[in-house]
Amino acid sequence: MASPVSPQELNSFFAAVVHKLEQLSLPYMVAGGFAAIFYGEPRLTVDIDIVVDLNSSHINPLLAAFPFPDYYLSEEAMRDSIRRRFPFNIIQTTTAAKVDLIPLPDDVFSRIAFARRQKMVFNLAGAEAWFISAEDIVLAKLFAYQQTGSDKHLRDVKGVLVTQWGDLDLDLIRRAAEQQQLLAQFEQVYEAARRELED
């Protein structure tokens, strides 16, 4: 049985993927659990989701940037993904580290969040990457909870609130949450975060 991917291997692969996306001038945004941990409280994750504004003209450059046998990247999966707007993955064959690339969805929230993304330093070496904003990862996690009912998304929301306390645009979050009938849920998590900070 293969050993699990270590955090160091995952972070190293993440840095390599981001570097290659920058070299290809592909607009991207780190999202999902990896972004929630970046802004919030540490937890184990092997999920790296990167939203990318790409089309079929990017397929060959991506294949060249992640060549076999060092990487596994399926041309067929990419074409299908771009057509149907769902994730495809790049796997580093030596470590089994995996990154999911998600073609930029057409919904309003995804487009707005992509436009608001921020370049952030993500390691001690000073490397930078484009991340979803802290406010938008809170909203994305609320939406994910609404769709799945999984409490892990609310834990991620609370982690971001606690860690970024005082630095968030709460009016922006509340307006967007109210539009999606999620304001009550947000306020409940907000109060839990406030109590944790007061303890």
Task: Quickly state the pLDDT bin for 2 (edges 50, 70, 90).
Answer: low
Reply yes or no on whether the pLDDT at 3 is more than 70. no
Note whether 127 and 15 are within 8 A (CB): yes
* The total number of residues written for the chain in this structure: 199
Q: What is the pLDDT of residues 84-142, one digit of tens each?
A: 999 999 999 999 999 999 999 999 999 999 999 999 999 888 999 999 999 999 999 99
Residue 1: pLDDT band (50, 70, 90) is very low
DSSP-assigned beta bridge partners for residue 91: 72, 98
What are the phi and psi torsion angles at 130 (to 5°)? Answer: -85, 120
Residue appearing with tokens 């991207």 = 28
Q: Enumerate residues 6+ apart whose C-beta is below 8 A from 9.
A: 92, 95, 97
pLDDT tens-digit readout, 145-194: 999 999 999 999 999 999 999 999 999 999 999 999 999 999 999 999 99
Domain 7-132: which CATH class?
Answer: alpha beta
How would residue 47 be classed by pLDDT, with cut points 50, 70 and 90? confident
Domain definitions of the chain by residue range: 7-132, 135-198
Distance from C-alpha of 142 to C-alpha of 77, rounded to nearest angstrom: 29
Going by the DSSP 8-state scheme, the letter that residue 168 receives in this structure is S
Q: What is the residue-averaged pLDDT of the chain?
A: 94
pLDDT tens for 32-46 read: 999 999 999 887 766
Residue 5 pLDDT more than 50? Answer: yes
